[in-house]
């Protein structure tokens, strides 16, 4: 109640504050220009287009909600949405969990080893996604791939002819694996920085009591950096929940539509099938998946 | 730090309990190094040698694949060298524009006022809009402006999508800038702009570094927009260019490996130069600050 009234009071004050020109306000013109012309205006347009039928050439024709009707009954969209959800959940959990385990391990290593491992592990994060996807395309390939050859070497011949990308029920997970491998060092780096900022006095007592590092890690260090972990989960969601380059390079959404995700499907619908109106409806779905979560995150983050 | 603490706890001898930990991190590191070296060495082979034994070290070092990729020779005639050049033009121009726009704007909104708060929230909202969701109308806009297949047609969306986060980062930095220094400048008779130019800017080189390490990898890596906006060989960039090495039935592996290395090279050089700042994860501190 009081929070509500103070918010109202704040709002009143906000409007009553007299406007005073300052020369630094001129610095705000370019970002406001770019945001309006190249983000907000296109956003209004994609909303408009989603209510039309449009091939990109003749003028768009208003069709009301029919694109959204199609959206709810499109079996391929259902696959893409399911795949996208699987991607987000597994990527979010695996990437941050592996990042946390790597960070926890590197945190208790000596100085030299720790900086060596940080340099090496972070390499893949900076490689272009298309480049890493190509390398995994090669690794997964039955002809020249390391993975099948390795399985054969250790005697798992039955598994050695696995079609990692050709098998419809495996393909999404194979792509996911490459992406998790590539990016796990990003949360790792953030968590290492967080661990390093913990005051050692907080766990020294536990060390003297003979607690294991494993125990100290899970019971003391991880709870302390919990806010950082939550931030990382939210940022991973905002930045990595719409994969495209990996899918486009490694499978093109195939075989069939087995590894289709929302962005790759939207891309096909828009630029292969030229169904701009329907593609815009998929774009709205992409927007709705990210925007509310980001807003909720930023709101809690500001407090 | 904590390693010392553990040894002070009376455990100087080799700790068996830590073997899985070293194995985990060590194996991961080996995969990183292996994959990179595999790409570099395979680039020294030709496709027939790769098919014969993909894991053997190259028997002779041949620069043919690298050379063909750079010049557009070889079987597929993909001029990756000029595509990399196009990427460099787009990314470099975008970076300069982002720095020139986001740093002053971040400074401006670091001061408390209703306008600045409003702009800050607007920028957060812009970050929350995924670029993929506005791809379609953005491409029409660029087309209507006559910028399809022009570098500026890609630079404009790149600037627009990356300015908001850059402003939020530089705002966080300027909020912790010592107020006394600015005050001293004002007493010396400098105006608002003078304070920014003479006092604040010269002390802000770390903001430039932070914005570079956040924006450069993202820009160099971008695929979705460049795939649609720059399609002519005169403007095509490195990421979609790399994709040209795999047709639907045939992949020219030696060119792929050489191409992967060439397209990654700018990033690796960037990593070597800014490693110290990147590994400190400094920008996360900037978000919280």
A139 close to B (CB below 8 A)? yes
Q: Chain A contacts of B260, Cβ < 8 Å?
A: 131, 134-135
Q: Which CATH number belongs to the domain containing residue A255 in this structure? A: 1.10.3720.10
Assess whether pLDDT exceeds 60 at residue A1: no
Nearest to B267 among A23, A110, A126 (CB): A126
A35 close to B (CB below 8 A)? yes
For chain B positions 218-257, those within 8 Å of chain A (CB to CB) are: 220-221, 223-224, 227-228, 238-239, 242-243, 246, 251, 253, 256-257
Q: Give ∠ CA A210-A214-A218 in degrees, rounded to 5.
A: 110
Of residues A145 and B23, which shows the higher confidence score? Answer: B23
Q: Judge: domain B82-247+264-288, CATH 3.40.50.80.
A: no
Domain annotation covers residue A58: no
Enter the ipTM.
Answer: 0.88
Determine the structural domain holding residue A271 and report its residue range.
Answer: 74-302
Residue A41 and residue A145 in one domain? no
Size of interface A-B (CB pairs under 8 A): 273
Assess whether pLDDT exceeds 70 at residue A290: yes
Domain annotation covers residue A45: yes
Span B171-185, average pLDDT? 88
In sequence order, which residues have a C-beta less than 8 Å from that of residue A268 and are 6 or more positions away? Answer: A253, A260
Assess whether pLDDT exceeds 60 at residue B4: no
Q: What integer best gives the mean pLDDT of chain B?
A: 86
Contact A144 B264 (CB under 8 A): no
Taking Cα atoms as reference points, which of B53, B1, B216 lies closest to residue A106? B1
Domain annotation covers residue A125: yes
Question: Highest-confidence range of A206-210, B155-159, B178-182, by mean pLDDT?
Answer: B155-159
Domain annotation covers residue A105: yes
Nearest to B119 among A28, A38, A39 (CB): A28
In three-state secondary structure terms, B3 is helix
pLDDT at B8: 44
Span A264-292, average pLDDT? 94
State the total domains in chain A. Answer: 2
Residue A42 and residue A96 in one domain? no
How close A158 gets to chain B, by Cα (Å)? 21
Buried b (16+ CB within 10 A) or exposed e, A210-232: ebebeebbeebbbeebeebbebb
Q: Chain A contacts of B128, Cβ < 8 Å?
A: 238, 290-291, 294-295, 298
In three-state secondary structure terms, A185 is helix
Domain annotation covers residue A57: no
Residue A228 and residue A270 in one domain? yes
How close A1 gets to chain B, by Cα (Å)? 24
Span A98-103, average pLDDT? 95
Residue A178 and residue A262 in one domain? yes
**In the beta sheet, which residues pair with residue A53?**
A61
Nearest to B25 among A102, A204, A284 (CB): A102
Residue A112 and residue A198 in one domain? yes
For an interface test with A, which of B84, B133, B265, B272 has the most A Cβ atoms less than 10 Å from its Cβ?
B133
Which H/E stretch holds residue B60? none
Domain annotation covers residue A69: no
Span A33-59, average pLDDT? 93
User: What percentage of chain B reaches a pLDDT higher than 70?
Assistant: 90
Domain ranges in chain B? 2-71, 82-247+264-288
Residue A214 and residue A120 in one domain? yes
Contact B128 A291 (CB under 8 A): yes
Residue A45 and residue A93 in one domain? no
Asked if A187 and A118 count as a contact pair (C-beta separation under 8 A), the reply is: no
pLDDT at A38: 97
A290 close to B (CB below 8 A)? yes
Domain annotation covers residue A63: no
Contact A134 B54 (CB under 8 A): no
Tell me the two tokens of residue A167.
Answer: 């098998």
Span B44-71, average pLDDT? 77
Question: Highest-confidence range of A188-192, B72-76, B159-163, by mean pLDDT?
Answer: B159-163
Among the residue ranges A77-91, B18-32, B39-53, the one predicted with the least confidence is B39-53
Of residues B282 and B91, which shows the higher confidence score? Answer: B91
CA distances from A134 to A22, B29, B245 (A): 52, 20, 10
Q: What is the pLDDT of residues B205-250, one digit of tens each?
A: 889 999 999 999 999 999 999 999 999 999 999 999 999 888 656 7
Assess whether pLDDT exceeds 90 at residue B75: no
**In the beta sheet, which residues pair with residue B246?**
B251
Contact A207 B21 (CB under 8 A): no
Contact B35 A284 (CB under 8 A): no
A21 close to B (CB below 8 A)? no
Instruction: Give dist(CA A96, CA A91) in Å, integer.
Output: 8
Domain annotation covers residue A66: no
Q: What integer best gives the mean pLDDT of chain A?
A: 88
């Amino acid at each position: 109640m009081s929070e509500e009234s103070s918010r109202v009071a704040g709002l009143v004050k906000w409007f009553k504050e007299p406007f005073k020109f300052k020369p630094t306000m001129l610095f705000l013109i370019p970002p406001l220009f770019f945001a309006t012309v190249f983000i907000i205006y296109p956003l209004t347009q994609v909303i408009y287009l989603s209510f039309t039928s449009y091939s990109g050439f003749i003028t768009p024709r208003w069709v009301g909600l029919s694109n959204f009707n199609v959206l709810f009954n499109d079996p391929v969209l259902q696959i893409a949405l399911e795949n996208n959800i699987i991607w987000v959940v597994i990527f979010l959990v695996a990437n941050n969990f592996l990042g946390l385990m790597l960070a926890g391990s590197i945190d208790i290593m000596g100085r030299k080893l720790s900086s060596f491992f940080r340099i090496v592990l972070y390499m893949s994060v900076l490689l272009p996604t298309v480049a890493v996807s190509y390398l995994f395309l090669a690794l997964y390939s039955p002809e020249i791939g390391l993975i099948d050859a390795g399985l054969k070497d250790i005697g798992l011949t039955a598994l050695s002819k696995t079609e990692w990308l050709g098998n419809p029920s495996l393909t999404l997970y194979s792509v996911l694996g490459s992406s998790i491998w590539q990016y796990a060092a990003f949360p790792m780096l953030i968590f290492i920085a967080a661990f390093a900022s913990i005051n050692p006095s907080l766990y020294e007592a536990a060390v003297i009591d003979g607690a294991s590092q494993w125990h100290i890690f899970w019971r003391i260090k991880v709870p302390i950096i919990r806010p950082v972990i939550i931030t990382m989960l939210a940022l991973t969601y905002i930045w990595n929940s719409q994969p495209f380059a990996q899918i486009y390079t490694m499978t093109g959404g195939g075989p069939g539509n087995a590894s289709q995700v929302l962005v790759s499907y939207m891309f096909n619908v828009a630029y292969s099938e030229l169904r701009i109106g329907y593609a815009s409806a998929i774009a709205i779905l992409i927007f709705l998946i990210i925007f509310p979560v980001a807003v909720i995150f930023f709101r809690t983050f500001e407090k | 730090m904590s390693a010392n603490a553990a040894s002070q706890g009376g455990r100087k001898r080799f700790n068996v309990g830590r073997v899985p930990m070293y194995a985990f991190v060590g194996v991961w590191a080996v995969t990183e190094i292996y994959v990179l070296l595999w790409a570099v060495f395979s680039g020294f082979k030709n496709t027939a040698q790769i098919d014969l034994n993909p894991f053997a070290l190259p028997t002779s070092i041949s620069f043919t694949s690298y050379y063909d990729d750079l010049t557009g020779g070889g079987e597929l005639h993909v001029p990756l060298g000029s595509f990399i050049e196009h990427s460099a033009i787009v990314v470099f121009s975008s970076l300069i524009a982002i720095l020139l726009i986001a740093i002053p704007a971040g400074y401006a909104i670091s001061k408390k006022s209703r306008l600045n708060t409003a702009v800050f929230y607007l920028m957060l909202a812009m970050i929350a809009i995924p670029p993929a969701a506005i791809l379609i109308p953005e491409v029409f806009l660029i087309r209507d402006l006559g910028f399809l297949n022009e570098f500026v047609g890609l630079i404009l969306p790149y600037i627009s999508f990356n300015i908001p986060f850059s402003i939020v980062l530089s705002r966080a930095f300027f909020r912790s800038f010592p107020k006394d220094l600015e005050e001293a400048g004002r007493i010396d008779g400098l105006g608002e702009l003078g304070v920014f130019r003479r006092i604040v800017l010269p002390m802000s080189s770390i903001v430039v570094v932070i914005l570079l390490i956040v924006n450069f990898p993202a820009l160099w890596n971008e695929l979705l927009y460049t795939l649609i906006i720059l399609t002519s060989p005169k403007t095509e960039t490195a990421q979609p260019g790399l994709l040209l090495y795999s047709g639907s039935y045939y992949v020219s592996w030696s060119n792929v490996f050489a191409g992967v290395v060439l397209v990654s090279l700018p990033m690796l050089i960037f990593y070597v130069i800014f490693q110290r700042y990147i590994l400190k994860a400094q920008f996360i501190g900037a978000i919280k600050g």
